Structure 1
Amino acid sequence: MKSFKSLLILLFLSFSVVAQDQSDKDSLNIRNFYDMSLLHGKSYDWLDYLSNEIGGRLSGSYEAQQAVEYTKSELEKLGLDKVWLQPVMVPKWVRGEREFGYIQTGPGSTRNINITALGGSVATPQGGTRAKVIEVQGIEDLAEYGRKNIEGKIVFFNRPMRADLINTFEAYGGAVDQRHDGAKEAAKYGAVGVIVRSMNLRLDDYPHAGNMSYGDLPKSERIPAAAISTNDVEYLSGLLKIQKDLELYFKLNCKQLDDVQSYNVIGEITGSEHPEKIMVVGGHLDSWDLGDGSHDDGAGVVQSMEVLRLFKETGYKPKNTIRVVLFMNEENGLRGGKKYAEVAKEKGENHVFALESDSGGFTPRGFGFEANDAQFEKIQSWKPLFEPYLIHYFERGESGADIGPLKGGNTVLAGLKPDSQRYFDYHHTAIDTFDKVSKRELELGAATMASLMYLVDKYGFDNSHKADSASSQ
């Protein structure tokens, strides 16, 4: 009996030594990713070119095509096993001449307001739209007011993002329906236009663009929709309390054209042991046109490219096939994400993991995962490896819009979660520009993504990987 107990103790100690040795190797490899990104990174230089040489990359635009060509060229320089373009038809909406609007504050007296057309909106009539304003807190208020109070008026949606929610994406989610569906719903009550409070947690003069939809509303019934800056929102709302019959004028010059061909940009390192198993890392290449899209989502694009470069530069040879996918048309259609998943399904490809960065280039805090219980338990076992970098947030929740269509089966989806408190200051605005991105924060995010990709590649999630996890690398 004593000899049996001694054997068990020896086996336990032996296993502990092997496990500690693997943990030390993982820590060293992860340290190498951070060192390479922080000392010799390329992500900031790539973002500089995307932002300052190309600029805003509205889906279907010349700038979007320039971004396709540039990122493909840069991926080819990395010496990947394969780089290609995946065709995808995308909507082409153009803003036209700059929008203009004002509030009629009195006879012969006006105050200009900062507005921007929402993506997908129709234009106002050639002479603009002028009407009385009715303020509502959300779509649900429309039925309460009814057609008799709304018909012929401009509906002013003024439900703010909740400032008491620490998760700013939760606050965004609780307010964004009025931007996306407000015009569609207000038109049913005879409104002639909508003005929507910008999705923002601070008061400033920058209106926030973003996508909107008319659903199946006939073209003849569609009404123009614009976002208004939060400073002007506060002024307008206050004035309406004392001057209920005031009028607002705005003019939009936007137009929806026919779909055009664009591309997802894809680069690949073929797996050394399981080439049939595919892991994706990516962000979306398109942006709104007001700024240069540095945070949304230039940061995610260059961080994803950097993951593959870090693997190459540190000499890590992945067991599974690693793909970087730069998706087109996330902002106003998600065509790129849907096309990628569609082609993957047609080819019978086996995607085991996908990671997206689309929350800005701020300090990384962790990840959100869409995974089952067993998968998430394994993921949590890696958390101590990230704690030296102050990465503590490992939660189950949303991952990313572009990788969402890959969901199904045992595929694990993940989204990088940077600090979100400043993100909506810049999101979809003219000040989402290169100077708002910290080089160090951007590079920390890239290394964090590479580290997670490395761990998933090395250990996987199914039983077949458990047996060889202690002996790999």
Structure 2
Amino acid sequence: MTKIPLFLFISLITLSWAQTKNSAVTTDDYLDILRNNLSGEQAYETTAFIEQFWRVVGNEGFNKSIHKVAASLEAAGYVLEENASNTDRFTYRLEKRPLQHPTWEILDANITLVGKNTPLLSYTTNRNMVYLNSISTPKNGTTAEVIYVEGIDDLQRIPVKGKIIFTGINGPEIYTEGVLKKGALGIITYDNPDYLRPEKNINSIQFRSLTFDPKNTWGIALSYQAKENLMAALEKGKVYAKVFISSKIYPSEELTLVADIKGSEIPGERLVFSAHVQEPGANDNASGVGAQLEMATVAAKLIGHESIYAQRTMTFIWGDEIISTKRYLQENEKRAKGIKWGLSLDMVGENTAITGGSFLIEKMPDPSAIWTRGKDKHTEWGGKPLTLEDMKPHYLNDYMIHNFLKQGKVAHWEVNANPYEGGSDHTPFLDSNIPGLLFWHFTDQFYHTDSDRLDKVSQETLKNVSIAALASALTLVNGDSYAAMDIVKIVQNAATNRLSEEFLLGDKSIKAGNSVKSEVAVVKAWEDWYIKAIASTTDLASPENTVILDKAILEAQAIIESQAKMFVSELEK
């Protein structure tokens, strides 16, 4: 913790922000420019194209999606890297790698209970009904008795060979034991979580997967309504079902698309956006692919016309979730050292009036992931409790929240944040000690279901996310000491508000009989986190203007320390 003599503290306070100039172009300037140039139309149209495909890495739908984005980049002025000259600032490349396992795609499927005239499920209405990596049945389907298995122990006493297993829990475990080891023909499961509101969305199915195995047969996932119908039939006696699946499993290659806007002054330093293409939904994640494309094309247009600048490099990655981003960070050590920020776009286009939830910024690990209380709350996705050793102090959290709230205020658009949970393309950045955030939506009652289609996507949301994300990115890639001082002020205000909130929560907790020591620890943890977050703004410092930034940092840290000391003293009385 930085200790500052009183005379220095007073002298720093008297310096006043009025004595420093603002950045040549502020985030507000970028927001204004982008509101006039970014409509969300390209993002929405791209989402509409991509969401028609059930996308698995290497399959036809995935590859068509990648090529669609590549063609759009080229139309926007990006040059294929192998054809680019040294003066081309907008470039892209298509990376190809052999897949370790074959890819998969579904063509058609249905399941019918023997004696019924209509299918229990059909692919035409439920495209998530077949487990990924399921093989085709014979052309005329396969018919067998359906046996209900409540748990894994039942497989020790219930003969399942040649039959179809139906279960509500532990699908993968029961598949391995009952199908691969004991000879059942396949598995039928139902396990839609409560946040999907299955009793309301009775025909939705959340997609499921089998681990690739050459001995695989098939799995079918049920909607709530199909589960109820099957259970009702089983209560009446023996049930036989006819299952028909047509799928393709074939060797392929993995495609990753990478586009760069080369920095004009500091090209070795960069901000990286990442959006994954695989997964079959519209919001998850055709929306992230579309938003990132429009950001890349609008940025190229404005930079090409010299309406804006990019002193550092901006990179855009489209590929396989986590895998493509992780590889990008690990395969080139020199390039990785220059990556200063990573931003993940995942489920960013939701019409929340239909899906529920709100837009969220998932923060880098801060103390709210240890003590989740007050206004902080985890999503239904959930997160494991973190420790002080897991903290990632940095200005990016509050800086991004501040900018998105500005866009939200203008657009009447709800913006919230959640403690760190993981599970998307921001995690490889954090694992590599690179500041990284996730832009997403949750709770979503159609998450990973076959109801996640274009009617759940909002062009207005795509526009708002893209404007706020790109404006923030442009500020950072052009950032200098003056931009850093603006950020210091933003983070300082966030720190003082947070400490005040934690003091009130701590005081209430102590009055309720809880430990003073524990509540003091919370305040001190936030103090430490913000002292370090303020200091992290030095990564934007201009060599010729480090002194003024250092003074701003010391001033802000002194205010945070003084406030924390006062609150600790009050809590300890």
Deviations 1:243-267 (A, max 9, x none): 3532223122224222x13421111
Q: CA separation in 2, counterparts of 1:419 and 1:444?
A: 17
Give 2:440's match in structure 1, choosing from 417, 423, 427: 417
| Residue 112 of structure 2 corresponds to residue 118 of structure 1 | no
Give the aligned length.
Answer: 422
Q: Residue 32 of structure 1 corresponds to which residue in structure 2?
A: 33
- Which residue identity lines up with residue 298 of structure 1 in the other structure? A
Say if 1:148 and 1:255 are closer, same or farther in 2 by CA, change over 3 A: farther
Residue 442 of structure 1 deviates from its aligned partner by 1.7
Q: CA separation in 1, counterparts of 2:8 and 2:438?
A: 44
Q: Residue 401 of structure 2 corresponds to which residue in structure 1?
A: 383
Equivalent residue runs for 1:210-229 within 5 Å: 210-214=208-212, 219-220=214-215, 222-229=216-223
- Which residue identity lines up with residue 95 of structure 1 in the other structure? I
Say if 1:24 and 1:354 are closer, same or farther in 2 by CA, change over 3 A: closer
Equivalent residue runs for 1:52-91 within 5 Å: 55-80=53-78, 81=89, 82-90=91-99, 91=102
Equivalent residue runs for 1:173-322 within 5 Å: 178=171, 183-187=175-179, 188-197=181-190, 199=192, 200-202=196-198, 203-214=201-212, 219-220=214-215, 222-240=216-234, 242-258=235-251, 260-288=252-280, 293-312=281-300, 313=302, 315-322=307-314
| Residue 419 of structure 2 corresponds to residue 396 of structure 1 | yes
Does the residue aligned with 2:45 lie in a helix, a strand or coil? Answer: helix
Structure 1 contact 68–265 (Cα < 8 Å) conserved: yes
Q: Residue 443 of structure 1 corresponds to which residue in structure 2?
A: 463
Say if 1:50 and 1:308 are closer, same or farther in 2 by CA, change over 3 A: same
Q: CA separation in 1, counterparts of 2:400 and 2:345?
A: 19
| Residue 437 of structure 2 corresponds to residue 408 of structure 1 | no
Say if 1:185 and 1:65 are closer, same or farther in 2 by CA, change over 3 A: same
Say if 1:18 and 1:225 are closer, same or farther in 2 by CA, change over 3 A: farther
- Which residue identity lines up with residue 309 of structure 1 in the other structure? T
Residue 345 of structure 1 deviates from its aligned partner by 4.9
- Which residue identity lines up with residue 157 of structure 1 in the other structure? T
Say if 1:464 and 1:190 are closer, same or farther in 2 by CA, change over 3 A: same
Q: CA separation in 2, counterparts of 1:192 and 1:419?
A: 37
Structure 1 contact 360–423 (Cα < 8 Å) conserved: no
Q: CA separation in 2, counterparts of 1:319 and 1:136?
A: 61
Deviations 1:424-468 (A, max 9, x none): 2xx352x54434322112211222322443455435974642644
Q: Residue 169 of structure 1 corresponds to which residue in structure 2?
A: none
Structure 1 contact 183–224 (Cα < 8 Å) conserved: no
Residue 357 of structure 1 deviates from its aligned partner by 1.8
Say if 1:145 and 1:252 are closer, same or farther in 2 by CA, change over 3 A: same
Structure 1 contact 114–205 (Cα < 8 Å) conserved: no
- Farther-moved stretch of structure 1 (249-258 vs 125-134): 125-134
CA RMSD of aligned residues (A): 3.7
Q: CA separation in 2, counterparts of 1:5 and 1:95?
A: 70
Residue 119 of structure 1 deviates from its aligned partner by 1.2
Structure 1 contact 296–428 (Cα < 8 Å) conserved: no
Q: Which runs of 5 or more residues in structure 2 are unaligned?
A: 79-88, 123-128, 353-357, 366-389, 488-532, 550-573
Residue 340 of structure 1 deviates from its aligned partner by 3.6
Say if 1:437 and 1:382 are closer, same or farther in 2 by CA, change over 3 A: closer
Does the residue aligned with 2:238 lie in a helix, a strand or coil? Answer: coil
Q: Residue 93 of structure 1 corresponds to which residue in structure 2?
A: 104
Q: Which runs of 5 or more residues in structure 1 are unaligned?
A: 160-176
Give 1:128's match in structure 2, choosing from 126, 141, 144: 141
Deviations 1:255-294 (A, max 9, x none): 4222x13421111112344322332212123443xxxx43
Does the residue aligned with 2:310 lie in a helix, a strand or coil? Answer: coil
Deviations 1:125-146 (A, max 9, x none): 5553433334456xxx21x213
Does the residue aligned with 1:450 lie in a helix, a strand or coil? Answer: helix
- Farther-moved stretch of structure 1 (403-412 vs 5-14): 5-14
Does the residue aligned with 1:418 lie in a helix, a strand or coil? Answer: strand
TM-score (norm 2): 0.63
Residue 300 of structure 1 deviates from its aligned partner by 0.6
Residue 368 of structure 1 deviates from its aligned partner by 1.2
| Residue 353 of structure 2 corresponds to residue 324 of structure 1 | no
Q: CA separation in 2, counterparts of 1:121 and 1:408?
A: 33
